[in-house]
C-alpha cells in the first residue's frame, strides 16, 4: 500500500491498514512522523503535492493500492496520476475532489441537482454585486459567511459574529479576497447557519456509500468554545453511532443528502472513490451542509478508524473495485473521545522548535491510543513544529470513561503545550443538547 500524508489522521490510517498482516506500507510524507515511520517499510520525505515525487515513489515500490490522506495532493491531481499509472487509489480524482476544493462547485452542484440541505449563496469574481447581495440578506435579518472559493488551509472562511463583526466587515473581507486573490481570488457569500455542527463520513466507491459513526469536532482553540478557529482540538462519538442531539430522522436526512451528492458528482464529473466528509449544521430546519471534504476529518478519523471492525484494507479494496455493496461495514458499538495536544499559542502564534516529551509506554498502560501529528523526530527527540502535535484517544463503553482515559494519558506528555480539558465532558455535550432543544422549540 502507498500512503500519502504524515499527520495524525494518516497515522490512524497507517495503523488501520497494518491490521492486515499482509500489508506492507510505503509512505510519502513531508515530515518524519515517528508513528508512521515505524509502521512503514520505506518512507519518502517529499512534499505531498509533488506529483513527480509521488510518481517516482510509486514506480519504485509498485503498490497494489494507494490511500491519499490530506486534501492538498487531491487538489494537485495525485489520484489522477496514480490511477493513470495503474494504481487504484482511495481518494477522488481532481475533478471529483472539487466537492472540497471549490466551494462554488459544491454549491452549484447541490443547486443543479436540487439536493436538500443547501443554503442561500452567490459567488463573485469581481466586487460588483457583492454589497447588493449582502444588503439583500441583511434586510431579511440574515448574517453571512464569506468564503474564498478555493483551499486556504482552513484559514479562509470567516463568519459574521465570529471573525467578522457584522455584514459591513463581511463586505471588506470579500473585497480583500478578491483583491489579494486569497484561495484563488473568487468569493462565495452564504447565509450563516445557526445550530450545532456535526461530521458524517461515508466510504464511497463511486455509486455506493457506507456510513461511519457520526462525530462532533471542536474547532475553537480554547475551552468553552472560545478563541480562534483551529484544525480541530478534539472530537467524540457515541456507542449508538449517533450524537446526543441528533435524532434518527436528522441522521437519515444527512445520509440522504450525501447519497444524492455522490450521485450528482458521478453524473457531473465521474465517480467519486474515496472518503466523503459531510460537515453539517443541525439547524431548526434539519441538517444543512456547511461544507464537504474529500478526505477523512482530522481529528475525526481517530474516532472512527479504531472502531472499524472490518480490516481497512477490505474497505479500500471495495472502494477502488466499486464493490462496497458486497461487504458489511461494521463498527464497534463503543464511544470514543479524541483530544489534540497543541503547542502553546496555537493557532495564531505557536511555539516552534521546542522539545515535547511523550512517554509512549506509560500512555499505552492507561489504555489510550496515541497518534503523532506535526512533530519532527531528530536525534531521538521530538520537536514541536507549530501545529497540532499529538492526539490521544480513549475508546470505551461510554464517553465519560473515554474522557477519563485521555486525561489520565495526558499526564505523560510534557512540553510547552495545551489541550482542551472540556472536550468529551458531559457539561459541554449538555450545552449542545440544550441549544438544539431551544432552536427547535422556537421554530
Nearest Cα neighbor of 103 from 170, 186, 178, 161 is 186
Smallest gap from Cβ 231 to ligand GLY, in A, equals 6
Cβ atoms 348, 366 nearer than 8 A: no
Q: Which is nearer to ligand GLY, 197 or 268 (CB)?
A: 197
Helix axes of 103-112 and 248-269: crossing angle, nearest 10 degrees: 100
Please give the Cα distance from 316 to 17 (Å, whole number).
9
Smallest gap from Cβ 163 to ligand GLY, in A, equals 16
Cβ atoms 434, 442 nearer than 8 A: no
Q: Which is nearer to ligand GLY, 81 or 391 (CB)?
A: 391
Smallest gap from Cβ 305 to ligand GLY, in A, equals 14
Smallest gap from Cβ 221 to ligand GLY, in A, equals 13
Q: Where are the beta strands (DSSP E) in 270-386?
A: 273-283, 286-293, 335-343, 355-358, 369-372, 375-378, 381-384
Task: Name which position in 63, 70, 117, 232 contacts ligand GLY (CB under 6 A).
Answer: 232
Residue 208 binds ligand GLY (CB under 6 A): no
Each as own residue / partner, the long-range contacts of residues 363-368 (CB below 8 Å, 24 or more positions apart, any chain) are 363/392, 363/409, 363/412, 363/413, 366/405, 366/408, 366/409, 366/412, 367/394, 367/396, 367/405, 367/409, 368/392, 368/393, 368/394, 368/405, 368/406, 368/408, 368/409
Q: Which is nearer to ligand GLY, 232 or 350 (CB)?
A: 232
Q: Which string of x and - marks every residue 250-289 that binds ligand GLY (by CB under 6 A)?
A: ----------------------------------------
Q: Which is nearer to ligand GLY, 56 or 279 (CB)?
A: 279
Task: Name which position in 297, 306, 347, 350 contacts ligand GLY (CB under 6 A).
Answer: 297
Q: Which is nearer to ligand GLY, 4 or 318 (CB)?
A: 4
Contacts of 374 (CB under 8 A, 6+ apart): 7, 31, 384, 385, 386, 387, 388, 389
The helix (H) or strand (E) run that includes residue 130 is helix 130-139
Length of the chain: 443
Residue 298 binds ligand GLY (CB under 6 A): yes
Residue 48 binds ligand GLY (CB under 6 A): no
Which window, 164-172, 290-298, 321-329, 371-379, contacts ligand GLY (CB under 6 A)?
Answer: 290-298
Q: Which is nearer to ligand GLY, 195 or 231 (CB)?
A: 231
Which window, 34-42, 247-255, 295-303, 401-409, contacts ligand GLY (CB under 6 A)?
Answer: 295-303
Smallest gap from Cβ 198 to ligand GLY, in A, equals 11
Smallest gap from Cβ 282 to ligand GLY, in A, equals 16
Which window, 13-21, 130-138, 293-301, 315-323, contacts ligand GLY (CB under 6 A)?
Answer: 293-301
Please give the Cα distance from 385 to 240 (Å, whole number).
37
Q: Which is nearer to ligand GLY, 171 or 218 (CB)?
A: 218
Q: Which is nearer to ligand GLY, 183 or 231 (CB)?
A: 231
Which window, 292-300, 315-323, 350-358, 431-439, contacts ligand GLY (CB under 6 A)?
Answer: 292-300
Q: Which is nearer to ligand GLY, 61 or 238 (CB)?
A: 238
Nearest Cα neighbor of 390 from 400, 376, 403 is 376
Other Cβ atoms less than 10 A from the Cβ of 178: the count is 19
Smallest gap from Cβ 101 to ligand GLY, in A, equals 13
Q: Which is nearer to ligand GLY, 27 or 293 (CB)?
A: 293
Each as own residue / partner, the long-range contacts of residues 80-87 (CB below 8 Å, 24 or more positions apart, any chain) are 81/51, 81/54, 81/55, 82/2, 82/54, 82/58, 85/55, 85/58, 85/59, 87/2, 87/58, 87/63
Q: How many chain residues bind ligand GLY (CB under 6 A)?
A: 7
Task: Name which position in 293, 336, 374, 389 contacts ligand GLY (CB under 6 A).
Answer: 293
Residue 217 binds ligand GLY (CB under 6 A): yes
Cβ atoms 13, 303 nearer than 8 A: no
Smallest gap from Cβ 380 to ligand GLY, in A, equals 31
Cβ atoms 148, 201 nearer than 8 A: no
Q: Which is nearer to ligand GLY, 298 or 317 (CB)?
A: 298
Residue 300 binds ligand GLY (CB under 6 A): yes
Supply 252's cell numbers: 437519515
Alpha carbon 174 to its chain centroid, in Å, reads 25
Please give the Cα distance from 357 to 359 (Å, whole number).
7
Q: Which residues bind ligand GLY (CB under 6 A)?
A: 217, 231-232, 293, 297-298, 300
Amino acid at each position: 500500500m502507498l500512503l500519502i500524508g504524515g499527520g495524525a489522521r494518516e497515522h490512524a490510517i497507517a495503523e488501520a491498514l497494518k491490521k492486515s498482516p499482509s500489508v506492507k506500507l510505503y509512505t510519502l510524507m513531508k515530515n518524519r512522523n515517528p508513528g508512521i515511520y515505524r509502521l512503514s517499510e520505506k518512507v519518502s520525505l517529499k512534499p505531498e503535492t509533488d506529483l513527480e515525487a509521488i510518481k517516482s515513489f510509486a514506480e519504485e515500490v509498485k503498490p497494489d493500492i494507494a490511500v491519499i490522506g490530506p486534501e492538498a495532493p487531491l487538489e494537485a491531481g495525485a489520484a489522477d496520476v496514480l490511477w493513470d499509472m495503474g494504481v487504484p487509489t482511495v481518494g477522488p480524482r481532481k475533478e471529483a475532489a472539487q466537492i472540497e476544493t471549490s466551494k462554488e462547485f459544491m454549491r452549484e452542484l447541490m443547486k443543479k441537482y436540487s439536493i436538500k440541505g443547501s443554503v442561500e449563496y452567490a459567488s463573485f469574481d469581481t466586487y460588483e454585486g457583492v454589497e447588493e447581495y449582502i444588503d439583500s440578506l441583511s434586510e431579511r435579518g440574515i448574517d453571512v459567511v464569506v468564503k474564498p472559493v478555493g483551499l486556504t488551509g482552513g484559514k479562509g472562511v470567516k463568519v459574521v459574529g465570529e471573525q467578522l463583526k457584522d455584514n459591513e466587515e463581511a463586505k471588506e473581507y470579500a473585497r480583500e479576497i478578491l483583491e489579494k486573490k486569497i484561495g484563488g481570488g473568487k468569493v462565495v457569500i452564504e447565509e450563516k447557519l445557526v445550530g450545532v455542527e456535526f461530521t458524517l463520513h461515508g466510504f464511497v466507491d463511486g455509486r455506493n456509500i457506507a456510513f461511519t459513526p457520526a462525530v462532533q469536532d471542536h474547532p475553537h482553540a480554547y475551552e468553552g468554545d472560545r478563541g480562534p478557529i483551529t484544525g480541530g482540538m478534539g472530537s467524540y462519538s457515541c456507542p449508538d453511532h449517533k450524537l446526543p442531539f441528533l435524532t434518527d430522522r436528522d441522521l437519515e436526512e444527512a445520509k440522504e443528502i450525501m447519497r444524492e451528492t455522490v450521485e450528482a458528482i458521478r453524473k457531473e464529473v465521474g465517480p467519486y472513490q474515496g472518503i466523503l466528509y459531510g460537515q453539517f449544521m443541525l439547524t431548526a430546519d434539519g441538517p444543512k451542509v456547511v461544507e464537504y471534504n474529500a478526505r477523512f476529518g482530522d481529528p475525526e478519523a481517530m474516532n472512527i478508524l479504531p472502531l472499524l471492525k472490518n480490516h481497512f484494507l477490505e474497505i479500500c479494496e471495495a472502494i477502488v473495485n466499486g464493490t462496497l455493496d458486497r461487504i458489511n461495514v461494521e463498527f464497534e458499538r463503543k464511544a470514543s473521545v479524541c483530544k489534540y495536544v497543541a503547542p502553546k499559542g496555537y493557532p495564531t502564534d505557536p511555539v516552534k522548535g521546542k522539545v515535547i516529551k511523550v512517554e509512549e509506554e506509560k500512555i499505552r498502560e492507561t489504555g489510550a491510543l496515541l497518534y503523532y501529528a506535526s512533530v519532527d523526530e531528530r536525534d531521538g527527540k521530538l520537536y514541536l513544529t507549530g501545529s497540532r502535535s499529538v492526539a490521544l484517544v480513549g475508546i470505551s463503553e461510554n464517553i465519560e470513561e473515554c474522557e477519563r482515559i485521555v486525561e489520565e494519558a495526558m499526564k505523560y506528555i510534557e512540553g510547552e503545550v495545551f489541550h482542551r480539558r472540556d472536550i468529551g465532558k458531559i457539561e459541554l455535550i449538555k450545552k449542545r443538547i440544550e441549544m438544539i432543544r431551544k432552536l427547535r422549540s422556537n421554530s
